[in-house]
Homo-oligomer: A and B are copies of this chain.
Amino acid sequence: MKRRPERPAATPTPAGSPAPPDGQDGRKRVVIEAVTPEIDAGRFPAKRVTGETVTVEADIFGDGHDTVVAVLRYRHQSAGDWIEVPMSPLPNDRWRGEFPVTELGRYLFTLEGWIDHFETWRRQLAKRIEAGQDVTIEFESGARMVEAAAARATGSVAEASSLAAMAQAIRVGGTRGIDAINSELSALMRRFAERSRATTYPRELEVVVEPVKARFSSWYELFPRSTGVAGKHGTFKDVERLLPEVARMGFDVLYLPPIHPIGKTHRKGANNKPAAEGEPGSPWAIGSEQGGHKSVHPELGTLDDFRHLVSAAAEQGIDVALDIAFQCSPDHPYTREHPEWFKHRPDGSIQYAENPPKKYEDIYPFDFETEHWRELWQELLSIFLFWSEQGVRIFRVDNPHTKPFGFWEWLVGEVRRSNPDVILLSEAFTRPSRPNLWPNTPDILTEYLQTGGKPAFQARLVLAATLGASYGIYGPAFELMESRPREQGSEEYLDSEKYQLRAWDRKAPDSLRELIAIVNRVRHENPALQTDRGLRFHPTENDQLLAYSKSSPDNSNIVLAVVNCDPHHVQRGMVNLPLEELGIERDRPYQAHELITGARYIWNGPRNYVEINPYAMPAQLFRFRRRVRSEHDFEYFM
């Protein structure tokens, strides 16, 4: 019976009709599809951070009415063996399983499903017995399945003999047979299941696991050169002096614009005019005779000074993030050593950056279509690796959208292969963008901030810090509410730090630093604000009021934000909350605890009145507590 016949024994089929698929077993009856997470048929990995759980779902079904079983298999890329966990059926052929990701790097997972003949038999036997049918033959069928499992349990002597005994008991039938069909037997039958016809999902899917800061981080950008005392050029040592202040505001990433030597040719001066003698130039015009992307601008200090800054920051829980801008000033060593990495004009000169008719003659872009792209890619990778060796764990990538996608995919993979703890934050032009919200940057002072005064800064701070689990500000321009544009209609700052040193009065009384500290503390105290997955918007009955909530993965922590987007007028209106989703009982009052001011309100039902005066505070953050005792109203909410 076990031999595979050479030719069909059946009625001859018409000429030309091929045999059923060779090399495949047509008896694999389970189908696995619609797997999540799966991005572009496995082309790209899903992302998680350490400590999270990967929840895997799939449609898993067979033909007919037999019982289906499914398992999830996973392993870290560095582990040889798969770990297998059972999946549970949800309604409508959907199945779910999960696994924890505790290590950085790549995890692989796949699924397997099969028809469980024993469980099918067990289920049907119960129905037959209930209907009073003669089940003598069914007992025999079951005994044979258990014997087959015993035969598969080679190497597990005790289990094999248990199974053999159970098979015999079932064969005898009657009460003894029924008693033998217990949970111990089910567990053994599952362990030694017949899986030769199991369907394995054809793809091994990937999950990239990053450090927690890839999901939840608070960024503060500053220009080191503006941190000097008495108008002097700032240094890494000056930045070190400011670390306690950055930490006090609650930031855990300190992001620096490029720290490399700055080119002199076509250097730009204050307010983007040609530089006069002595002007410092733009840090993004990278490279001079003093070095390129692996060198430090001498006026900032030495490489040792930089490493010291990185260590000192780490002691305060702060990562120093470096800006990686892949472009060169005309004075960059690459332009002499590797002219083949740049595009040349018919006159032999290197092609500068331009967006016709605009010309950026102080910047040479790399030519990613060069014949020598392999060497170029290697060199650019070596820049990341160089700074990784100096202790940098976070990079912010400038203008990624002007370099090929294939280049980034390769580079990110290579960087992470040796440095799985490194995080790359892409500037916002890529598709899709990583959510990281910035109310201002050195390039962008929005009209809203130019004209909205303090309420505008406060509102945008709360929006960024609560809509995005990762967010950042460019300071001290932000907390000191710098709002002057270079000219009417421009989003450029007047006297932008991109082109000149600025002296900031960091101790100014009218600073947002206290509010920033409170908002960052609220972020740290509320897991709901540490992920973007639980974001929901809620209808308000006033277009100027924006309401949304975030919830933690286990739903135990929920924060509601209501923001008055009108920086000039008091706005009031009803906010509609989906109480059930928020875990609040419909018919009982609940406490709304405002987290910025500490005020506590008793709310009732899904519609609640909110009135926000932007001159007091344009945003409110609520955490809800339901009442568990009726006396001592405020003490017994939980």
A residues near B (Cβ < 8 Å) are 1-5, 8-14, 16-21, 24, 26-29, 31, 33, 40-41, 59, 61-65, 93, 124-125, 127-128, 130-131, 133, 137, 140-141, 144, 197, 294, 338, 340, 345-347, 355-357, 368-379, 381-382, 385, 389, 401-407, 410, 414, 418, 431
Contact = CB atoms under 8 A, between A and B. Distances in A.
A402 B63 CA distance: 5
Contacts of A28: 404, 406
B141 A346 contact: yes
A293 to B, nearest CB: 10
Contacts of A414: 17-18
A406 B26 contact: yes
A13 B406 contact: no
Contacts of A357: 127-128, 130-131, 133
Contacts of A31: 405
Taking the full assembly, how many copies of this chain does it contain? Answer: 2
Given A14-B385, A137-B347, A345-B141, A5 B375 contact: yes
Nearest to A27: B369
A194 to B, nearest CB: 10
Contacts of A24: 406
Main secondary structure of the interface of A (DSSP, over half): loop
Nearest to A63: B404
Contacts of A93: 431
A404 to B, nearest CB: 5
B379 A11 contact: yes
A410 B345 contact: no
A19 B381 contact: no
29 contacts: A1-B340, A4-B371, A9-B372, A9-B375, A10-B338, A10-B375, A13-B378, A14-B385, A17-B382, A17-B385, A17-B418, A20-B373, A21-B406, A26-B404, A26-B407, A27-B368, A27-B373, A27-B404, A29-B368, A29-B369, A29-B405, A31-B405, A63-B403, A64-B401, A64-B402, A65-B402, A93-B431, A141-B345, A197-B369
A378 B17 contact: yes
A379 B346 contact: no
The list of the 7 closest CB pairs from A to B, nearest first, reads: A41-B41, A131-B357, A140-B346, A10-B379, A124-B356, A127-B356, A10-B375
Contacts of A26: 368, 373-374, 377, 404, 406-407, 410
A419 to B, nearest CB: 11
A405 B33 CA distance: 12
A264 to B, nearest CB: 23
Contacts of A130: 357
Given A404-B27, A414-B17, A375 B63 contact: no
A407 B24 CA distance: 11
B346 A431 contact: no
Contacts of A12: 382
Contact of A8 (B140, B197, B374, B431): B374
A2 B370 CA distance: 10
Contacts of A389: 14
Nearest to A130: B357
A412 to B, nearest CB: 13
Contacts of A375: 5, 8-10
A376 B403 CA distance: 57
